[in-house]
Structure 1
Amino acid sequence: MSSTTSTPVPSLASSPSHQKIMSTYKFIFSGHEKNTSHSILTALRETYPDYHVTRTDFGSCDVIAYANAGHAEALLIDAINSEREYIPASPMSMLDFIDDPDSDYDSDDTAEKNSRHRDGDKLRDKVSFGLYAYKWNNMSFMVYTHKFAKRFEGPTKKLYVLAPRSMGMSSDGLYSVPTDQLLRVVGRWQATLHDEIYVFDDGMWAKSKELWRSVQGSSWADVILDPRTKDALVEDVHGFFTSRDLYEEFSVPWKRGVILHGLPGNGKTLSIKALMCTLYTSSMTAQDNEEDSFKHDDGEDNSSNGAKPRRHVPSLYVKSLQTCQGPQYAVRIIFSKARKMAPCMLIFEDLDSLVTEKVRSYFLNEVDGLESNNGILMVGSTNHLGALDPAIANRPSRFDRKYHFALPQKAERVAYAKYWRAKLERNGKVDFPEKVCDVVASWTSGFSFAYLKELFITALLTVARGGPCPGEEEDKEQPDGEGSDSSEKNFIVVGESGKITPIPEKVAVEDKSSEKDQKTVEDAAKQPGAKKESVVKMPEMVIPDELDDNVLLKVLRHQVRALLREMDNSKTASKGKKKKGEDYEDDEDNAEVQMMRQLLIRQAQAEAEACNDC
């Protein structure tokens, strides 16, 4: 059991040897020494001649974290530059405490609340230089921790483990046997993920329980995609990790890369979360010819207990390449870690913003250079496939396959509506007939999954709260802006510039095939600023007679119209380098709405170009 309290141990904290070390630390950080780590190590060896001093790194052998996990005891004795830090609980675990913040922790009537409170918020010490009394496996050590930063470099964290020489030394007298035993066990434990995901940020890898929690519960049932795309992606990724022997049989390097691309809000991030969760929970059977020893979460080797060894497939998530040493250094550290953790999934979300022209060559050298990347599956995502360098996007053996996350067609929109309907099967507040799914799907051509999610959340909350149910006329006449009437915005004129201008209903037409209606269109095109324009009608949203009294459907219609007025399916995509002639398809359903969506895309591109010109 670990402890971070600063209860003094007089025989250690006030000893002349320890006081000398503290004075040395102060002297070094007064600017008298350059190599601080070496100076601390030398001072410790001179001050404690009866102890063997082993210097190690937090990144590989964090004995304090090992103690905090309950596997050893670490008692903070003394510290310089320490800070007592408050770590708040999650909002849900703090609700009861907020109701009564002055409650007595030891009172019986708040025992249940306080158990949640203790499990939530906590206090911890941030120690720059400190001494711990350390106990493990019935052996006692002293551990000094040292955290500092070098100019133009990131933070450095060192540990100094002191063990009495009388406890045992190696035959050559260079190493402490008990210290090496401790570091080996801690290293094995630290190399294993314990409900965590590795995240690279600020130039270093760190384990994140928060990200792990955020992906738990993610499953392919929550991902509404074309079944062929989903099945191919799942088979591609999971098949890679279970086919090492086949790769070796055909003398093919056991590495792979896939790119998920398409407009934002169509399931790329959700698919990555589903991959991370399913790879972690399903685990992978080790091949008989595995050289690496598969370990369970406790760090112990279980390969000799008769059962076939299994392991989770870890995920490594790259958040940023920004470091004090530059992005080239970050790329090297990222792939070095991935090789150590292989087999693993290495994730580059928003790949186009990470791998810029400045780091392109370094990235490609790591991907297909001299060092082996066996067991590494790279997953990159991008909203702008055209913005990626062709050497990355169009070169198999780097990123072998590309999966397009297109705007959902009607079948996917129906499936997504049924997904929400299934969530509410036991909810008595909302009447959600199955026929609503098909009706809403016919209204929402051009909607991304993100817009569909917003549509259903807003509508369902409105109904659940007993909000107003807009009628047909009220819905059409809802103001779209100050001093404007939305009925005039049911029809849109689009010029060559891409600018969208509302025109009165009297000049709009529904059937452009007749000669009379064509004349009306031509008249509309003669309005000021409307050169070579076309007219697009907002979709008709007729509620079937059998659903005429359904409150949810009326609210959904109201929200669809509101979203159509403001939606822009490619505002973000237009910032990328879209190839000429590249369309984001939805080749079915309401043709007028499809035209409107394409015109909105043109408007967004024109606005982006105007901003760039500014």
Structure 2
Amino acid sequence: MSTLDRQHLLSASAPLQVKATSDWMDAALDDAYGGRSINTHFRLFQSVKKQHPDRQIISLDDPSFDVSGFLASQNVANDILAGDQVPKQHTVLTRSDNYGRFRRSPFDDDETYSPPALLKSLRNGVFEIDYASTHFNIYQFHWMDYQGPMRATYFVFAGEDETAGTKLVQSVYQWMDTLKDEVWVFDQVWRKDKTMYQAVQSADWKDIFLEADMRQDLRRDTSVFFVSEDAYKSLNVAWKRGILLIGAPGNGKTEAIKAIIKGANVPCLYVKSFKSRMGPEQGIRAIFRRARQSAPCILVLEDLDSLVEPATRSFFLNELDGLESNHGILTVATTNHPEKIDQAILNRPSRFDTKYAFNLPSQSLRMDYIRMWLLKLESLGVVILGDQYSTIEEFGHELSRRTEGWSFAYLKELFVSFQLTRAALQSAGNPAGDTVQDIFHHVETLGKQVVIGAPSSPEEPDAALSDAGARVAGRIRHVGWH
């Protein structure tokens, strides 16, 4: 550890002064950063205790404990000691949103990005706060040992017992466990994500394109689940359910998840990876532990085929459908490659009871989707019709015919690329061309990139799965989705 990273400890007397025992703290952290100490947490505690022999001290070693986030949420100002009092205070800059870990939500279609505000936070050192009529010195330390990243937090305060400190710690944990316009996201550790929550709010069932009888089925299997606890009890079966969304990219699985999350009005837990600092098994354990604590809730496992590896298959199955109760958990998983998923996961009821196949949209669904976009362009002042087509229905029907085998993602790109090209011409002072012919030109250009998929006729619900090499048992729905 460098000299700049070493943190001197302070006494609780005013004014605070660096004492001789800070040299001992420097040595303890040097040992920790050099890998020479196997009991760093206790040595740090001893040092803090020597600095404050007449004060109460509460010690925590929870790496996820977020006292700084809690204080910020409560608008509690803290004073990070600096200057002559602590000449070697170690602070770091972090992003102010989502704890600085991710720039964008996987649900966010917005291509724009603006840098977030930066916050200065303490890594190794001490800060002071006044909370609930009690003055606290809060020490934070980070180091590495053979187990990986380690962290220690010490609350120092005056009092006859530990009541004031215990209440503060309990308040932090209560805040950590409560979502407020947020989604739980797991990627090595759990964090609360506001950006993903905001992206979910754009979803609306009425804007989703699917075959006539599919909307009711999917909504019944998701949002209705959470008002059906008594029905499950009457049947003497566990109140849990698993739904698997199957299909190639671009056919709407993510949009479906967004609508499901928004409509359910329960906590949502989104899993990016099973990996954790202690290995994937502990990651899986942490994921299902949080889900059971949050139930009733939705647990989203996107790209299930890439999440479950052979080494973790049995562990995952045990958590998903073992002795532990998953009461009130709706597990919604997606996969682009069902043929890569173990049959013990794919075909056994009570794991994923219902499968929905998101195949390429039929012509009627493409027609509905194209009509929406043509009306949107018309509302922006784009003149679409001419001598060749007298109505949007005529033009839309021809477009749907020419886009056989296209996913919704490619259809969206068709209109976006057309509009961008048109905007570029206008910005350069060039007149816009014939709208119909320009769109057809984009169809021809983009069509070269389209990979023609399996038949998407509603009469052949298993066709896409068959071509993927996966005949999925159970109730399979063919769904076309925006």
TM-score normalised by length of structure 1: 0.63
1:416 aligned counterpart, secondary structure: helix
Aligned equivalents of 1:12 and 1:355: distance in 2?
Answer: 56
Aligned equivalents of 2:28 and 2:125: distance in 1?
Answer: 10
Aligned equivalents of 1:227 and 1:41: distance in 2?
Answer: 65
Name the structure 1 match of 2:225: 240
Q: Which runs of 5+ in 2 are unaligned?
A: 1-9, 98-113, 386-390, 427-431, 469-482
1:73 aligned counterpart, secondary structure: coil
Name the structure 2 match of 1:306: none
Name the structure 1 match of 2:284: 331
The answer as to whether partners of 1:168 and 1:178 remain within 8 angstroms in 2 is no
121, 143, 167: which one pairs with 1:148?
143
67, 76, 84: which one pairs with 1:72?
76
Could you report, residue by residue, the CA deviation over 1:545-588 in whole angstroms, capped at 9, with x for unpaired residues? xxxx9932212211222222232145xxxxxxxxxxxx543379
- Are 2:22 and 1:19 aligned? yes
Name the structure 2 match of 1:127: 122
* 1:462 CA drift (Å): 2.7
Name the structure 1 match of 2:243: 258
2:203 aligned counterpart, secondary structure: coil
Letter in 2 for 1:168: E
* 1:31 CA drift (Å): 4.4
- Are 2:219 and 1:225 aligned? no
Aligned equivalents of 2:308 and 2:450: distance in 1?
Answer: 30
* 1:21 CA drift (Å): 6.7
Name the structure 2 match of 1:385: 338
Aligned equivalents of 2:40 and 2:380: distance in 1?
Answer: 64
- Are 2:401 and 1:463 aligned? no
Aligned equivalents of 1:422 and 1:21: distance in 2?
Answer: 72
The answer as to whether partners of 1:60 and 1:191 remain within 8 angstroms in 2 is no
Name the structure 2 match of 1:37: 41
Name the structure 1 match of 2:105: none
* 1:333 CA drift (Å): 1.5
Change (3 A) 1:11 1:423: farther
Name the structure 2 match of 1:49: 53
Name the structure 2 match of 1:448: 407
Letter in 2 for 1:162: V
The answer as to whether partners of 1:12 and 1:18 remain within 8 angstroms in 2 is no
Change (3 A) 1:439 1:138: same
Number of residues of Structure 1 aligned to a counterpart in Structure 2 = 422
Quote the sequence identity (%). 34
Aligned equivalents of 2:14 and 2:115: distance in 1?
Answer: 35
231, 237, 252: which one pairs with 1:267?
252
Letter in 1 for 2:160: G
216, 240, 247: which one pairs with 2:201?
216
Aligned equivalents of 1:585 and 1:426: distance in 2?
Answer: 31
Aligned equivalents of 1:18 and 1:256: distance in 2?
Answer: 57
1:221 aligned counterpart, secondary structure: helix
Letter in 2 for 1:585: S
1:438 aligned counterpart, secondary structure: helix
1:408 aligned counterpart, secondary structure: coil
Aligned equivalents of 1:12 and 1:318: distance in 2?
Answer: 48
Name the structure 2 match of 1:85: 93
Which shows bigger deviation, 427-436 or 141-150?
Answer: 427-436
Letter in 2 for 1:26: L
Larger Rg: 1
Aligned equivalents of 1:70 and 1:456: distance in 2?
Answer: 46
Aligned equivalents of 1:587 and 1:259: distance in 2?
Answer: 19
* 1:23 CA drift (Å): 3.4
1:251 aligned counterpart, secondary structure: coil
The answer as to whether partners of 1:408 and 1:449 remain within 8 angstroms in 2 is yes
Change (3 A) 1:338 1:21: farther
The answer as to whether partners of 1:61 and 1:183 remain within 8 angstroms in 2 is no
Could you report, residue by residue, the CA deviation over 1:583-604 in whole angstroms, capped at 9, with x for unpaired residues? 543379xxxxxxxx99xx99xx
Could you report, residue by residue, the CA deviation over 1:97-152 in whole angstroms, capped at 9, with x for unpaired residues? xxxxxxxxxxxxxxxxxxxxxx9743323433110101112221111112233335
- Map 1:193-204; keep pairs closer than 5 Å: 193-201=179-187, 203-204=188-189
1:566 aligned counterpart, secondary structure: coil
- Are 2:437 and 1:566 aligned? no
* 1:347 CA drift (Å): 0.9
Aligned equivalents of 2:296 and 2:21: distance in 1?
Answer: 45
The answer as to whether partners of 1:197 and 1:207 remain within 8 angstroms in 2 is yes
Aligned equivalents of 1:567 and 1:459: distance in 2?
Answer: 16
Letter in 2 for 1:247: Y
TM-score normalised by length of structure 2: 0.79
Could you report, residue by residue, the CA deviation over 1:318-368 in whole angstroms, capped at 9, with x for unpaired residues? 111233433222111111111111111111111001112221111001111
Aligned equivalents of 1:44 and 1:269: distance in 2?
Answer: 50
Aligned equivalents of 1:21 and 1:234: distance in 2?
Answer: 62
- Are 2:352 and 1:399 aligned? yes
* 1:387 CA drift (Å): 1.6
Change (3 A) 1:123 1:557: closer
Change (3 A) 1:121 1:200: closer
Could you report, residue by residue, the CA deviation over 1:433-488 in whole angstroms, capped at 9, with x for unpaired residues? 52222221121111111111111111233334447xxxxxxxxxxxxxxxxxxxxx
Change (3 A) 1:253 1:449: same
Aligned equivalents of 1:369 and 1:136: distance in 2?
Answer: 44
Q: Which has the higher contact order (CA 8 A, sep 6+)?
A: 2
Aligned equivalents of 2:458 and 2:37: distance in 1?
Answer: 70
- Map 1:169-568; keep pairs closer than 5 Å: 169=161, 176-201=162-187, 203-279=188-264, 283=265, 313-431=266-384, 434-435=392-393, 436-466=395-425, 551-568=434-451
2:256 aligned counterpart, secondary structure: helix
Q: Which runs of 5+ in 1 are unaligned?
A: 1-7, 90-118, 170-175, 284-312, 468-548, 571-582, 589-596, 603-614
Aligned equivalents of 2:175 and 2:270: distance in 1?
Answer: 20
The answer as to whether partners of 2:21 and 2:47 remain within 8 angstroms in 1 is no
Letter in 2 for 1:85: L
How much is the aligned-residue C-alpha RMSD, in angstroms?
Answer: 3.1
Aligned equivalents of 2:20 and 2:157: distance in 1?
Answer: 15
The answer as to whether partners of 1:338 and 1:376 remain within 8 angstroms in 2 is yes
Change (3 A) 1:77 1:565: same
Which shows bigger deviation, 59-68 or 383-392?
Answer: 59-68
Aligned equivalents of 1:56 and 1:556: distance in 2?
Answer: 62
Change (3 A) 1:439 1:245: same
